[in-house]
Amino acid sequence: MSVAAARDRALRRPVHDDRTAAILGLALGLCFLVCFLTGVWSHLQQHPPGWLTLPPRPSWLYRVTQGTHVATGYATVPLLLAKLWSVYPRLFRWPPVRGVAHAVERAMLVPLVCGAVFMLVSGIANVSRWYPWGFYFPAAHYAVAWITIGSLVVHVGAKAALTRAALSRSSPRRPTPSGTLGRRGFLASVAAAVGIVTVTTAGQTVPALRPATLFAQRRTDIGSQGLPVNKSAAQAGVTESAADDGYRLRVTGDVGQELVLTAGELDDLARHEVELSIACVEGWSASAHWRGVPVAELLDLVGVPRGRAITVVVESLQRGGRYRSSELNHLQARDPDTVLAVAVNGERLNLDHGFPCRLIGPNRPGVLQTKWVSELVVRA
C-alpha cells in the first residue's frame, strides 16, 4: 500500500480524527498548564528573586504544589504519547503546508513537541536522580518550560476553532471500521494508563497511596528514623566534622554579640516541638516530628532587634556542592516553627539526617532544609 493510501485509511479511523485529537489535546493542555504553574511556583520557592519575600505559611503549601507538579508531569507521559500517536498520520499530508500562516503554525510544532518531550524526559530523569547531561537541570528545565508553554499558547490559538467544532455535539461521527480500536476504547485505555501512573507514583507524597507505590522513585517509609535520605553524611563528606567533639554552632554577622554553642548546649536549648514535612523538589514528601531551637530564639539571644528586616544565611559543614547552604528571609527567620532541629521522631538526629543540627522550617523546598548546620550569618 502506498503511503498516501495508508495515511487516508488511518485518517478515516476515529482514533486519528479531529475529535480524538481535540479530547486528548484538552486533557493534555490542562495537565501541562497545572504542571507549568506549579513548576513556576517551585522555581520561585527554590530561587526566590529579591523582590519576593515568600511567606512561611501555609506550612504545607510547597508539599502540595510540588507533589502536584511531579504528579501532573508523570500523568502527562501517557497523554502525550497518545496524542502524538493519534495525530501522527497527519504529518504525511501532502503538500505539508498550505500558505504562510499554516507554515508558521506547523513550524511551531517543532518547539512544542521537542519542548514537551524534553520537559518530561529531563523531569523524570531528575526525579530519578540520573543526570546524563552537562547542564544545570533547574535552569534548563525552567527555560524550556517557557518555550514549550509559549508554543502551546500559539498551538491552542491556531486550533481553537477546529477543537470547538470537533467537540460540538453536531460534529459528524464516523463509524469505527470493524476489527479496529474505537475512540471510546482508545480514550478509556489512555485514562486507565494515566490513572495507573498516578496511583502507583503518588504514594511518595500521599501516605494513603503508599501501598500502591510501584513506579515512584521513593518510598517515604524507607530510610532511617522514618525518613528518606537524599544525601548521606558520607556523600557530603561531613562524617568526621559532624561527629567531632570540637563542633560548634556559631551565630554571627550583624548581631549584638556573637554566639558559640557546643552540641550539648544546643541540645539543652532545643525545647520546641513541631510537626513539619520534608518536601523534596523531586516530588516525595514525608511528615516528621522535630525537636529544636527556633531560629527566632537564637536571634533574640544575639540581640537582633525584632523589627529589623534581616536575612539569615544557613551554612553547613559541607565544603562543596550547591546545597551546602540556604537562606531564610525575614518572615521565615522569625517564624516560631523555623528551627534548628536536633531530634526527629523522638530520636537524636543521626548523621545522615544532619547531626548535630539541621534546619527545618514551614513551607520550604527540601533542598533548602540544610543539614549539618555550622553557622547562622545574620545580614541586615
Ligand X SMILES: Nc1nc2c(c(=O)[nH]1)N[C@H]1C(S)=C(S)[C@@H](COP(=O)(O)O)O[C@H]1N2
Best CA proximity match to 126, nearest among 109, 111, 139, 112: 139
Minimum CB–partner distance for residue 224 and ligand X (Å): 9
In the list 372, 374, 376, 378, the residue contacting ligand X (rule: CB under 6 A) is: 372
Examine residue 324 and tell whether it contacts ligand X (CB under 6 A). Answer: yes
- Residue corresponding to grid cell 516528621: 288
Examine residue 218 and tell whether it contacts ligand X (CB under 6 A). Answer: no
Phi and psi at 168, nearest 5°, equal -70, 150
Could you say which residues in the range 334-363 bind ligand X, by CB under 6 A?
A: 353
In the list 366, 370, 374, 378, the residue contacting Mo ion (rule: CB under 5 A) is: 366
Residue 197 or residue 280: which is nearer to ligand X going by CB? 280
Choices 56-64, 68-76, 141-149, 315-323 (CB under 6 A): range interacting with ligand X: 315-323
What stretch of H or E contains 292?
Answer: strand 285-294
CB 205, CB 73: distance < 8 Å? no
Residue 194 or residue 368: which is nearer to ligand X going by CB? 368
CB 119, CB 148: distance < 8 Å? yes
What number of CA atoms fall less than 13 Å from residue 244's CA on the CB side? 12
Residue 131 or residue 146: which is nearer to ligand X going by CB? 131
Minimum CB–partner distance for residue 348 and ligand X (Å): 14
Residue 183 or residue 324: which is nearer to ligand X going by CB? 324
Examine residue 366 and tell whether it contacts ligand X (CB under 6 A). Answer: yes
As a whole number of angstroms, the distance between CA 21 and CA 224 comes to: 47
Choices 26-34, 188-196, 262-270, 365-373 (CB under 6 A): range interacting with ligand X: 365-373
What number of CA atoms fall less than 13 Å from residue 364's CA on the CB side? 23
**Per rule CB under 5 A, count of chain residues that contact Mo ion:** 4
Output the DSSP codes for 27-52. HHHHHHHHHHHHHHHHHHHHS--TT-
Best CA proximity match to 380, nearest among 329, 326, 309, 331: 309
Site residues for Mo ion per CB under 5 A? 230, 280, 366-367
Site residues for ligand X per CB under 6 A? 227-231, 236, 278, 280, 316, 318, 321, 323-324, 353, 366-367, 369-372
